[in-house]
Amino acid sequence: MEGLIYLIVGVVFLVIFVIAMRLLGAWMLRINEILRHQQILINEVKKLNGSYGEHLKK
């Protein structure tokens, strides 16, 4: 009977660990997506600033 309790506790711990790792992975993927969008916006702002500066030089 004692072995069955250890087995159940072990399985519950394993399930909680797997769920936590899945949530952490999904969170990290969202952070990467946000960083990618920020880099796109930075590049667009740099292009706009560059073209604006060249326009003033002429």
Q: Give, in order, the Cα–Cα distances in Å from 33 to each of 5, 10, 20, 26, 44.
A: 42, 35, 20, 11, 17
49 vs 20 pLDDT, higher one: 20
Instruction: Tell me whether residue 34 is in a domain.
Output: yes
Instruction: Tell me whether residue 56 is in a domain.
Output: yes
**pLDDT confidence of residue 56:** 58
For 8-28, write each residue's pLDDT tens digit. 999 999 999 999 999 898 888
Instruction: Tell me whether residue 5 is in a domain.
Output: no
Instruction: Tell me whether residue 10 is in a domain.
Output: no
Please give the tally of structural domains in the chain: 1
User: Distance between CA atoms of 24 and 18, rounded to whole angstroms?
Assistant: 10
Instruction: Tell me whether residue 58 is in a domain.
Output: yes
Instruction: Tell me whether residue 57 is in a domain.
Output: yes
Instruction: Tell me whether residue 54 is in a domain.
Output: yes
Q: Which residues are CB-neighbours of 39 under 8 A, at least 6 positions away?
A: none
**Both tokens of residue 50?**
């560059």
Instruction: Tell me whether residue 42 is in a domain.
Output: yes
Give the domain range for residue 23.
19-58
